[in-house]
A and B are shown apart, each in its own frame.
Chain A
Amino acid sequence: MRNVWLVFKKEILSGLRDRRTAILVLVFPLIFYPTMLGLIFHFSSQNVPDEEGTIPRVAYQNREASPVLAKFFAGEENLATTFYREEGAARQDFESGKSDLLLEVEKKEPSGISVEVSYRRLDQNSEIALSRAKGVFESYLEESMKQKLGSMGISYEEISPPMEISVNEIGDAESAIGREMLEMMLPYFVILSIITAAMGLGAEITAGEKEKKTISTLLVSRLSREEIVLGKFLTVFTVAAIAAVFSVVGLVYGLGLFGVSLPLENLTPSVFGWILVTVLPLVAVLSSLVIGIGSFARTQKEANVYQTPVLMLVVLTGILSMTGGMSLGQFTFFIPILNSLETFKELIAGTVNLFHVGATFVTTVPLAFLLVYFAIWLFKREDILFRI
C-alpha cells in the first residue's frame, strides 16, 4: 500500500503543476459549466413566448354546422379564428402552418355536433390555442346545457355539480426551473466533469508515460505492476472525484449568479452520504476505464482516440437520463452508468430508495473492480506495454 501511495503522491504533484489538469478540475466545473448553463437559461427564458400577448390562429371548418359555437369562437378575443366554407380548406391552412389549431365541425343527428380538434404537440402557440379552445368549448357546453334544461323547465343553477376541482399553482416559475435544472442537469454535468477530468489526466499518466519513455524506470523499481496501476488509478479517481464535487459547487453557486436558485433543502447529510455511495463507484468505473485504455494505447493521442467512444457513451447515457427517454422499470437500476445517474436524480429530489441505491452499488462496484483488474492485466502484458 505504501508503494501505491508513493505513485499516487508523485502523480498528484506532477498533475497539480499541469495547467490542463487545473483547467479540467477547476475551470470547467467551477466556471465553464455554470456559465454555459446560466447563459442557456438566460437566453432560453428570453425566447419563451409571452402567453398573455399571444393570439394563436384557429382554422375553423364548417361554421354552418353550429352557428352558436362559431359565434363563441368569433367572440373569443384571445383567438384569431378564421372560418372556412370550402371543404378541406381549413386543414390545408393548418397543415401549411398558417394556423395553430384546426377545428373541423360536423352536424351530428339528431341535434348535436361533433368537433375534431387537431394541434401540434410541443408547439407553444398550438398548445396555447388548444387550452383556450377548451375554455370556449366549456362555455359553449354550459350555455347549451342551460338552454336545454330551461326548455325542460329546470334551472341550471339548481343542479349542483357532483364535483368541483380547483387547481392551485404553488411556487414561482424561477424555483420550478431551479428544481428542474437541479434534478435533471446536475447529474449530467457531474458525470461530464468526472469523465473530462479522468480522461485528460488518465491518458497522460498511462499512455503518456510510455510516450515519454519514463515507464521503464518504474518497471525496474521495486514497484510491482499492480502497485503502479493502482497508484495511477487512485490518482485519476481522486482528481475525478474532486472535479465532481467542484461541478456541484459550481452549478449550485454559479447558477445563482444567473438568477436560478437551486433548491437544496433535500440535500441533508444522510442524502449526501447516499449520493457519495452512488457517485463514487461511478467515478471508480470511469477512472479504471480510462486507465485501462491508457495502458493499451501507445501514445496519449492514441489514448484520446480510444477514449472518444467512452465519452460518447457517457454523454448519451447522460442525455438519456436527463430526458427520461428510457422506460425499463427497475431494470434501469442494473445498467451501469445509467443506474448511477437515475439514482443520483432521485437522491437530489430527496427520495432515498434503498433498492435503487443498492442495485446501483452492487452492479457498479464489481464492475469497477473488474475494470481495475483488466487495466492491471493489460499493464502486465509485454506485447501491449511495449507495443510498436
Chain B
Amino acid sequence: MNSKRIEVRTVDLTKKFTLNREETITAVRKMNLEAASGEVLGILGPNGAGKTTALRMISTILKPTSGTAVVGGEDVRENPLRVRQSIGYLATEMGLYGRLTPRETLKFFARINGLAEDRIEPRMQEVFDILDMNEFGGRKVNNLSTGMKQKLSLARSIIHDPRILIFDEPTQGLDLMTSKTVTDYIQQFKAEGKTIILSTHIMNVAEKLCDRIAILFEGEIKAFGEINNLMERYGVEDLETLFFQVAGGEKE
C-alpha cells in the first residue's frame, strides 16, 4: 500500500446543512480518510449516515462547510474544476437522459469531461466492448432494461478514463445478475490501478470489493482501516458483526 500514490485524502471534512433559521444538522463531521491508487475504499453506514454527502463533497458537487479534501492532487475547495478532470462519479440513481441513445449519452459526457475529439470514438468503442454494450448502443435509453441502464451509467462515469472513481451505492436496487456485473467491473477497474471509493450498506459487497473500509455513523467515522485488521481489533469474525459493534447497534 505504501508504494502506491495517495489519490484521495480528506482532512477534517465537515458538512452542515441549515434546516431553518435556528436549526442546522451536521451530516459529516471531521472526516479524515485516504485512498490510494489501485485501492477500493468502502464507506459503510446505515441510511442517513452521511455517505452520499461525503462522496458529494469529494466529487465537488457540494462545498465542505469546513475542512477539505485533496483529490488527484487538487483541493476540492480551491480547484473544483481540476478535481473533476480526474474523477468519474456514479450516483445512487442512474440519472440518464431517456430520449438519448447510449452512444449519444457517452459522446456528450466524453465531450463535457474534456476528452479530445479524436479520442472519443475509439474510447467509446473500448467502453462498449468492456461493458458489452454494443448490442444496445443505438437504442433510446427509455427502452433499455435496468441492467443495460446501469451499464450505461457505469460507462458514463468511466468514458473519459478517470483515474479516480466514486461510486455511490453502485449495487443498490439491482438484481443479483446486474449486481455481479457491476462488482466484476469494479474489480477490473481496481486491477487497472484506478482508485475507487464506494459507499454501500451491503456487507458482502464491501467484503468482496474493499481493501479498506470506513464505518460511518451519524456523520462520524467510527472505524477506518483494512477489514481484517479491524475485525482483529474488535475481536469479531465477520464484517456484519464488526459493523454493528462499531456503529453501536445490535445484531438482530
Contacts and interface: CB of A to CB of B under 8 A. Distances in A.
Interface of A: 3, 6-7, 10, 13-14, 17-18, 212-224, 382-383, 386
> Which residue, A14, A222, A223, A224, has most C-beta atoms of chain B within 10 A?
A222
Interface residues of B, number: 31
A223 B95 contact: no
B96 A214 contact: yes
Interface in B75-108: 81, 84-85, 87, 89, 91, 93-100, 104, 108
Nearest to B157: A217
A221 B112 contact: yes
A interface secondary structure, majority: helix
A222 B112 contact: yes
A20 to B, nearest CB: 11
A219 B97 contact: no
A76 to B, nearest CB: 71
B97 A224 contact: no
B89 A220 contact: yes
B100 A13 contact: yes
B235 interface: no
Nearest to B82: A222
Contacts of B14: none
A71 B18 CA distance: 88
A212 B104 contact: no
A213 B91 contact: yes
A357 B43 CA distance: 61
A224 B91 contact: no
Contact of A222 (B94, B108, B113): B113
Given A6-B108, A224-B81, A216 B113 contact: no
B112 A213 contact: no
B59 A220 contact: yes
A317 B63 CA distance: 42
A323 B246 CA distance: 73
13 contacts: A6-B108, A13-B104, A18-B99, A213-B93, A216-B59, A216-B95, A217-B95, A217-B156, A218-B112, A219-B60, A222-B114, A223-B112, A224-B81
B130 interface: no
A3 B112 contact: yes
Interface string B112-151: 1110000000000000000000000000100000000000
B97 A14 contact: yes
Contacts of B96: 214
Given A6-B112, A383-B18, A217 B99 contact: no
B111 interface: yes
Nearest to B61: A219
Given A213-B95, A216-B89, A220-B60, 13 more contacts: A13-B99, A212-B98, A213-B91, A214-B95, A215-B95, A216-B91, A217-B109, A217-B156, A220-B61, A220-B87, A221-B112, A383-B18, A386-B62
Given A14-B100, A17-B99, A216-B95, A222 B89 contact: no
Shortest Cβ-Cβ A-B pairs, 7 listed: A213-B93, A213-B95, A220-B89, A214-B95, A17-B99, A221-B112, A14-B99
Contact of B63 (A10, A223, A224, A382): A382
A382 B18 CA distance: 11
Interface string B33-59: 000000000000000000000001001
B104 A216 contact: no
A14 to B, nearest CB: 5
Nearest to A224: B81
A215 B100 CA distance: 15
A62 B118 CA distance: 99
A382 B80 CA distance: 15
A146 B108 CA distance: 92
A13 B129 CA distance: 26
Contacts of B109: 217, 221
Contacts of A222: 81, 84-85, 112-114
A138 B87 CA distance: 92
A7 B112 CA distance: 8
Contacts of A212: 95, 98
A221 B99 contact: no
Contacts of B17: 383
A17 B140 CA distance: 10
A269 B169 CA distance: 59
B241 to A, nearest CB: 34
Nearest to A223: B112
